[in-house]
Structures are given as structure tokens and as C-alpha cells.
């Protein structure tokens, strides 16, 4: 009877009848040793038949595997695919990435989010060229020493590219393991995570013969475990009826797969507003900043419009900031607002068009004006402060219509889109007005 049809019975009647409060086996012994070869063969056979055809699965090149693994961190596969292709077209080799300017790397990453990943990629590429002759290191200790490389990424790259026997442990794999062993509680507690890592290594075959072909490498096994978690053993809708290893799954036998693992508490959403000034001179140029500040992370520390953070849209405070930092006194024309989310922050983008005869020239460091006096807790008062005025090296004046030539965040793109839409609508409004006379 086909496993994919869901017709395989539990491996023994005792497991199926186990009461919900039964003590699960030790985490490191999720699958009995005598049954481990059958478990491995079943999963690898399913993976060979059902795996998704993804670009990074067509290569064992360590550089390309590394790029894919970094991009896939906290990012959906569908979102990564076009970025992966474009990034490798722009930086086809590790050496090309190491020699590139950081701004070029960030520009290629723009829109994918979590920009520290791109910065660490660039730093790590330089270190690999300088210390490892341009080849991603094969020893896990050396891989872990690279910027942005943790245990999961090191194990994934070394197992997939080089066949090294290191088991991966990410959210997908942890969920599979938790259900196999009916493991309750917070999986991310350090002690429990170490136990799960040991369990993942205990399941890892040095070489396992799949039902569909030749012996499979540790990289194939790791990808099979991740694929199972990503496609069938999903958080909210586990498809136990077609799971290739459901007969070994204690949570399935107990009828609690949907309840495991226990959800982690999410941080309470923080709501705030960013009031941003889109300066525009008669030549269509605007002003962008890149500076360290209390809200720079909201723009991913990339180029952005002058802005202040507050509890709600604050055009008066934005006007004072423009006057203090740039000597600008001009009317603020409100533009349509937009919604934006950064992790747990729910942000209202409140852009304003500011027409100027000439963009300010920032030639030396200046001091930001004192923060406004507010009757609020200290933590809120800090969040409502205006940023410091920029230094000359932190300023660019590109054409508004071409700011995407610089690395900018999604929030900045939304602000620019609102300004360009308003400007493009002006000729149409004027034309309609002339026709009405």
C-alpha cells in the first residue's frame, strides 16, 4: 500500500493506543535503532520523488549553496527565487562578491529585507578570499568564524556542498523532530535546542540508500528533513495522511500533531509613525540620508528621506527638524500615507512633499536640536526624539525618479511612490481644470 496514499498503519498497536499523558522517549532516541534504516530509506525515497525543483538544488557549488541559505533565512522560497538569480548574475563568483562595493551588494539585496545578511555576506566573502584562498572553508570551526554564519548555515553548506556529516537544525527540522517525539514546551530553550540538535545528528545517515537511486549524502538527508517540514509537516496544517514517515510519528499516533510544537509568545505590536520629507528642487532632485540614529533600523540603515519618529504624524516637528538640520523653511504638502511593517513594529508612513529652490548643501557636521519636551515615560520620550543632523558624507541628491539606483528600503520606496504619484497627477488635474473653463 502506498505511503503517499496514507494507508500505512502505525508501526505497532501499542503506539497507536498510547495515552496522551504517556512519557515520550528521550529526545535523542526518537527512532529505535532497529528501525532507523527503514525510516531513513522511506524519507529519502519520498524526497527523491517529491522534492521541489529549486535553482540551488541543481548545484553543489559551496558559494551558491551559501548564498541560497542566507537568502532563505526568515524569507519565503517564492520571494527568494528572483533575488537569487539576479544576485548571482551580478556576483557570479565569491571573488566577484568580495571585490564589489558594499552599496552594490545592498542595492542587489534591496527589497529582500534583513540587510545585515547582505552586509555579513560581503564581509565574509572578503575574509574567505583573504584567509581561505577564495574557497568556502570545509572545517566547521572555520565556517563558524565567518561573519553571519551560525551552526545551521555552516551545517547546511558543508553537508550539501561537501558531503560533510553535519545535521541541520532550523525551525522546520525542529518541528518535525518535536512531532516525531511528541515533545512539548518551548523548543527554543537552550537545553531543549541542544537536545534537538543531538537528535538530529542521531538520525543523520553517513550514507543511506534511497528507494529511488544511489546512496544519498548528508546534504540530501538534511534537505529531505527541511523539505518535509516546509511542505507536509507545516505549522498550521500538517498533512499526516500523506507523510512518508507518519508511522514513526508519536504526535500523529496521539492525535496531537496540530498542537505541537507549542507556539512561542509573540512580542506585542508597537505602533508608531514616521513623518518623512521628500525635498524636491526645480530639477526634480531630492535629498537622501544615511546615518546612524534611533530610527535608522526602520529604514534598514540604508538611504532614506529626512524623517522623524513619533507616536503619530508630526508635521510641526518635521518642520523644526528641517529648519534646524538644513536651514529649510518651506511648506509641507501632505502626501497619501502608507502602512509598513518591520518585525513587531506597525508603522504609519506619513510623507510630505517639500518644494525648495535649492537643495541644502551639507558640508560639515552640525548638531541636532534638543528633543522636544514631552509628558511621557522616558522610553517613549527617547522614541519621539528627532534625529541628529547629517554629516556631508551621509547625503545624496539623486533625481527622485531614480533613487532606486541607491540601496533603499521598502519603506523609502513607498514614500517615493507616494510623491511620484502625486507629481504625475498634477498635469492631469491641470488639464482637467483648463477644460472646465
Phi, psi of 52 (to 5 degrees): -70, 145
Q: Which of 49, 69, 227, 333 is catalytic?
A: 69
CA dist list (Å): 59 to 56, 66, 109, 136: 6, 11, 22, 15
Separation CA 87–CA 308 (nearest Å)? 33
- In this structure, are residues 376 and 348 in contact, taking their beta carbons and an 8 Å threshold? no
Residue 158 CA to chain centroid, in angstroms?
21
Rounded to 5°, angle at Cα 230 from 229 and 236? 80
Longest dimension (CA), the chain: 90
Separation CA 396–CA 105 (nearest Å)? 18
The beta-carbon contacts of 262-271 under 8 Å, at least 24 apart in sequence, are: 262/184, 262/185, 262/186, 262/187, 264/186, 264/188, 266/344, 267/343, 267/344, 268/344, 269/344, 269/345, 269/346, 270/344, 270/345, 270/346, 271/311, 271/345, 271/346, 271/347, 271/348
- In this structure, are residues 118 and 90 in contact, taking their beta carbons and an 8 Å threshold? no
Separation CA 383–CA 412 (nearest Å)? 20
Phi, psi of 231 (to 5 degrees): -115, -35
Please say if 35 is a catalytic residue: no
- In this structure, are residues 343 and 270 in contact, taking their beta carbons and an 8 Å threshold? no
Cell of 204: 543523520
Catalytic positions, please? 69
Amino acid at each position: 500500500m502506498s505511503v503517499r496514499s496514507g494507508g500505512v498503519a502505525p508501526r505497532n498497536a501499542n503506539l497507536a493506543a498510547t495515552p496522551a499523558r504517556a512519557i515520550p522517549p528521550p529526545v535523542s532516541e526518537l527512532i529505535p535503532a532497529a528501525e532507523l534504516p527503514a525510516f531513513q530509506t522511506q524519507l529519502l525515497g519520498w524526497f527523491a520523488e517529491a522534492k521541489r525543483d529549486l535553482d540551488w538544488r541543481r548545484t553543489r557549488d559551496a558559494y551558491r549553496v551559501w548564498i541560497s541559505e542566507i537568502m532563505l533565512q526568515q524569507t519565503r522560497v517564492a520571494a527568494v527565487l528572483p533575488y537569487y538569480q539576479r544576485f548571482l548574475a551580478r556576483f557570479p563568483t565569491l571573488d566577484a562578491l568580495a571585490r564589489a562595493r558594499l552599496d552594490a551588494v545592498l542595492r542587489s539585496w534591496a527589497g529582500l529585507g534583513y540587510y545585515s545578511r547582505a552586509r555579513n555576506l560581503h564581509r565574509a566573502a572578503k575574509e574567505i578570499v583573504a584567509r581561505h584562498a577564495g574557497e568556502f572553508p570545509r572545517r566547521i570551526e572555520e565556517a563558524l568564524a565567518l561573519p553571519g554564519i551560525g551552526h545551521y548555515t555552516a551545517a547546511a553548506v558543508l553537508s550539501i556542498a561537501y558531503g560533510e556529516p553535519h545535521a541541520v537544525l532550523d525551525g522546520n527540522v525542529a518541528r518535525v523532530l518535536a512531532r516525531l517525539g511528541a515533545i512539548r514546551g518551548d523548543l527554543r530553550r537552550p537545553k531543549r535546542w541542544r537536545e534537538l540538535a543531538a537528535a538530529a545528528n542521531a538520525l543523520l545517515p553517513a550514507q543511506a540508500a534511497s528507494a529511488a537511486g544511489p546512496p544519498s549524502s548528508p546534504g540530501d538527508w538534511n534537505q529531505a528533513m527541511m523539505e518535509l517540514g516546509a511542505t507536509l509537516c507545516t505549522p498550521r496544517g500538517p498533512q499526516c495522511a500523506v507523510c512518508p514517515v507518519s508511522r514513526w510519528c508519536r504526535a500523529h499516533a496521539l492525535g496531537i500533531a496540530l498542537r505541537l510544537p507549542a507556539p512561542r509568545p509573540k512580542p506585542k505590536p508597537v505602533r508608531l509613525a514616521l513623518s518623512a520629507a521628500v525635498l524636491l528642487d526645480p530639477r526634480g532632485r531630492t535629498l537622501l540620508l544615511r546615518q546612524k540614529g534611533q530610527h535608522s533600523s526602520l529604514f534598514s540603515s540604508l538611504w532614506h528621506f529626512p524623517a522623524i519618529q513619533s507616536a503619530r504624524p508630526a508635521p510641526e516637528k518635521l518642520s523644526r527638524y528641517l529648519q534646524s538640520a538644513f536651514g529649510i523653511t518651506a511648506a509641507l504638502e501632505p502626501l497619501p500615507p502608507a502602512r509598513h511593517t518591520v518585525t513587531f513594529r506597525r508603522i504609519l508612513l506619513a510623507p510630505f512633499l517639500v518644494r525648495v529652490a535649492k537643495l541644502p548643501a551639507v558640508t560639515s557636521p552640525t548638531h541636532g536640536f534638543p528633543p522636544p519636551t514631552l509628558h511621557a515615560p522616558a522610553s517613549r520620550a527617547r522614541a519621539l526624539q528627532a534625529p541628529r543632523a547629517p554629516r556631508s558624507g551621509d547625503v545624496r541628491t539623486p533625481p527622485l525618479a531614480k533613487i532606486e539606483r541607491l540601496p533603499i528600503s521598502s519603506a523609502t520606496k513607498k514614500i517615493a511612490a507616494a510623491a511620484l504619484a502625486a507629481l504625475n497627477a498634477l498635469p492631469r488635474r491641470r488639464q482637467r481644470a483648463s477644460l472646465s473653463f
